[in-house]
């Protein structure tokens, strides 16, 4: 197995043994054109590319990646979980409820107001989730 790719290094840094399932899943996220992928989509994609893997392994690896800070897990309303690469820049999401497309945005004003609110409510904020649901431009056109 190649020992020198950045994927290999990333796994080692996370304290995870370098195995084919882990490498393949990590590289899928590194090269995927859609950033937000479900466990089932990961599984199907690998199977379709003739990479043998079990769905249990997919879930276990995804969970380990989240714990290692490699991935983020999101639970959008009424959907299964989706995972995306943790690229360091926090952001929130816009979700098209018709086609499922996800866009990202960041508002430093909103971030600051949230911190203020948590402080006012005496909450030690650990995380937050903001999702705007709607119909994207393309889908609006499609609807007669």
Question: Which residue of 13, 34, 54, 131 would you call a contact of DNA, by CB under 7 A?
Answer: 54
**Which helix or strand (DSSP H or E) is residue 32 part of?**
none
Q: Which residues are near its own copies by CB under 8 A?
A: 75, 77-78, 94, 96-97, 103, 105, 107, 109-110, 113-114, 117-118, 121-137, 140
- The angle subtended at Cα 123 by Cα 68 and Cα 105, nearest 5°, is 55
Buried b / exposed e across 113-135, counting CB within 10 Å, b at 16+? eeeeeeeeeeeeeeeeeeeeeee
Instruction: Select the residue interacting with DNA from 13, 20, 105, 107 (CB under 7 A).
Output: 20
40 touches DNA by CB under 7 A: yes
Choice between 68 and 94, CB closer to its own copies: 94
Signed CA dihedral, 70, 61, 12, 4: sign only: negative
Our CB check for its own copies shows the closer of 32 and 94 to be: 94
Residue count of the chain: 144
Residue 4 near which of DNA, its own copies, none (CB within 5-8 Å, type-dependent): none
Residues in contact with DNA by the rule CB under 7 A: 1, 12, 16-22, 38-40, 52-57, 59-61, 63, 80-81
């Amino acid at each position: 197995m190649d020992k020198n790719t950045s994927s290999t290094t990333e796994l080692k840094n996370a304290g995870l043994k370098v195995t084919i399932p882990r490498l393949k899943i990590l590289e899928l996220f590194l090269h995927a054109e859609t950033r937000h992928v479900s466990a089932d989509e990961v599984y199907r994609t690998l199977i379709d590319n003739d990479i043998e893997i079990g769905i249990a392994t997919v879930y276990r690896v995804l969970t380990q990646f989240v714990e290692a800070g490699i991935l983020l897990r999101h639970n959008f309303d009424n959907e299964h979980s989706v995972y995306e690469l943790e690229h360091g820049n926090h952001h929130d999401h816009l979700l098209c409820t018709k086609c499922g497309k996800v866009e990202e945005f960041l508002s430093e004003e909103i971030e600051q107001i949230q911190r203020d609110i948590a402080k006012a409510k005496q909450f030690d904020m650990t995380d937050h989730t903001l999702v705007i649901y709607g119909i994207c431009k393309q889908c609006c056109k499609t609807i007669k």
